[in-house]
Amino acid sequence: MALDINKTAKEVYDWVESFGWHNKTPLECLALIGSEVGEAVNECRDVRPTYKLGAELGDICIRTFDFAVEQGIDLEAGIGIQEIQDLLGSFDCTNKSPLECLALVAKQVGLAVNECLGEKPTPKLGSVLVGLCLRVFSIAHQEGIDLDACIAAKMEINRARKKKPAGRVK
């Protein structure tokens, strides 16, 4: 991946802030990430994923990047941590279907929820979010999806928006 994760995460955060959407609890943020995982699952219901899977994986990343910035988590620094690489050492999408891999992404969202059940998120939340991103990156790689391009396309759409999309709550 050539994506500058922290730069993109900050752009996402600033865009979300410009619409006044940073009024969610950590659990609400994770529920929104989970909803994007569900949308990705819907794109994998046939024998092969639809062409929309890349956009949905991009949406998972965008929501996760925003939440990470909001929580002060440096995803790029975390991706290099050996502990996380060891944690994911056995994770390989090569012999798994996209649905199996997305189930592991959903599990990672659940682990993140566990880290947010107290008064404030625990320090372990960062490594859990990094693990979530790495799993999404792995799915994209396995499926031949240019995730950088998918995220860039979504960000371009977001930057073009002049007002809040319909149906959004302050």
Question: 101-113: per-residue pLDDT in tens?
Answer: 999 999 999 999 9
- Distance between CA atoms of residues 63 and 98, nearest Å: 20
pLDDT recorded at residue 166: 53
pLDDT at residue 63 above 90? yes
User: What contacts 24+ positions apart, CB below 8 Å, involve 39-45?
Assistant: 40/102, 40/105, 41/99, 41/102, 41/106, 44/97, 44/98, 44/99, 44/102
pLDDT recorded at residue 170: 45
3-class state of residue 166 by DSSP: coil
Q: Which residue has the higher pLDDT, 165 or 141?
A: 141
pLDDT at residue 88 above 90? no
pLDDT-derived band at 19 (thresholds 50, 70, 90) equals confident
pLDDT at residue 96 above 60? yes
The CATH code that applies to domain 5-160 is: 1.10.4010.10
pLDDT recorded at residue 155: 86
pLDDT at residue 84 above 80? no
Tally of CB atoms within 10 A around 41: 18
- Distance between CA atoms of residues 58 and 95, nearest Å: 22
pLDDT at residue 147 above 50? yes
pLDDT recorded at residue 53: 97
User: Which whole number is the average pLDDT over 48-70?
Assistant: 95
- Distance between CA atoms of residues 9 and 74, nearest Å: 9
pLDDT at residue 124 above 60? yes
Q: What is the pTM of this model?
A: 0.87
pLDDT recorded at residue 82: 47
For the chain, the average pLDDT equals: 86
